[in-house]
Amino acid sequence: MGTSISYHSVDVGGLPIFYREAGDRDAPVILLLHGLPSSSRMYEPLLSRLSRDFRLIAPDYPGFGHSAAPDPLSFPYTFDRLSAVIASFTEVLGLSRYALFVQDYGGPVGFRLAMAAPERLDALIIQNAVAHHTGLTSLWDRRKAYWNDRVGHEREVWESLFSGDANRRRHIGSDPNPEGYNPDLWQDESAFLSRPGQAQIQLDLFFDYRTNVASYRRWQRWLRERQPPLLVVWGKYDLSFDSSEPHAYRHDVPSAEVHFLDAGHFALDTAADEVATLTRSFLRPLHTARPPTPRRLCQRVTSLASVEFSLTTQAGSTQTQMETRQ
């Protein structure tokens, strides 16, 4: 597939799930999980920069981007449900091992995915996603009120999270150089949010965000027990998530690699080169140290006295060995 990006849709339990892909099929896999109210499109800068070294796969969740958006009356928009769909998506694509790159909503989806199948996780890369109470800024006070009184705070939450102004603020944050941001980023998100049914989908899902906050201690315990290879890249101009959060991750995983960037909530908006370089440098040693994963084992009888085995690895190399039978 090379360095070009391709676009696909696959059936996952009756739902068409859209995804972007780049890189060689035999390269180490990075599964990229997007944030709010974005889609896999946010990862295009990374796909184009890392596809020579990795196979990158970025799906759209149900209700986002180009994936199906079933009616909330028939499809509950919860993080458990989104995670289950993405888990099935990895099965459909045959992804047995991968590094997870998560941002914002990708954090809750990714933690559920990793904890359900830790044997598949090569590494975890976190970009402005939270797993500690201290990572939530004062902006979350009003949002938490929504979880206690949905009807009374629904309009306020919509304006603070999903309005055109909110989408712009989420990208730029406190960056003193707003001229570095392409307005298409938030204008496209606003157009997406204006689709029929989107208000209900997004409000339902954000109401369920309270289950993520309730899971923080469990996620922290998992990090401390599993000690996964962890890279945290943090846009320091983020207004929603506190800059203390990367240090909290390092408390859980002392070997974690942490980098603060001159970027906002969506670091790829302005720091794609830095994020790509950090990701490549972090993952390369892990895959170099790991033995090749068998992909296909072929057996051919060459004589009555011996059997020839041909093993094709994920790296694409072929190893042949002879077994002599007595």
SS (H, E, C) 85-153: HHHHHHHHHCCCCEEEEEECCHHHHHHHHHHHCHHHEEEEEEECCCCCHHHECCCHHHHHHHHHCHHHH
Query: What is the pLDDT, as a whole number, of residue 274?
Result: 99
Q: What are the pLDDT digits (tens) for 171-204?
A: 999 999 999 999 999 999 999 999 999 999 999 9
Q: What are the pLDDT digits (tens) for 76-131?
A: 999 999 999 999 999 999 999 999 999 999 999 999 999 999 999 999 999 999 99
Structure-block tokens of residue 290: 């790991």
Q: How many CB atoms lie under 10 A from the CB of residue 251? A: 13
Q: Which residues are catalytic?
A: 265
5-289 placed in CATH 3.40.50.1820: yes
The domain spans of the chain are: 5-289, 295-324
Entry pTM: 0.88
Q: What residue type is 100 in one-letter code?
A: L
Is the pLDDT at 246 greater than 60? The verdict is yes
Query: What is the pLDDT, as a whole number, of residue 288?
Result: 78
Q: What are the pLDDT digits (tens) for 263-277?
A: 999 999 999 999 999
Integer CA distances (angstroms), 89 to 8, 14, 208, in order = 12, 11, 22
Work out the burial of residue 245: count CB atoms within 10 Å of its CB; fewer than 13 is exposed, 13-18 middle, 19 or more buried: buried
Pairwise CA distance, residues 36 & 22, whole Å: 22
Pairwise CA distance, residues 115 & 111, whole Å: 6
CA quadruple 148, 265, 20, 89: dihedral sign: negative
Is the pLDDT at 73 greater than 60? The verdict is yes
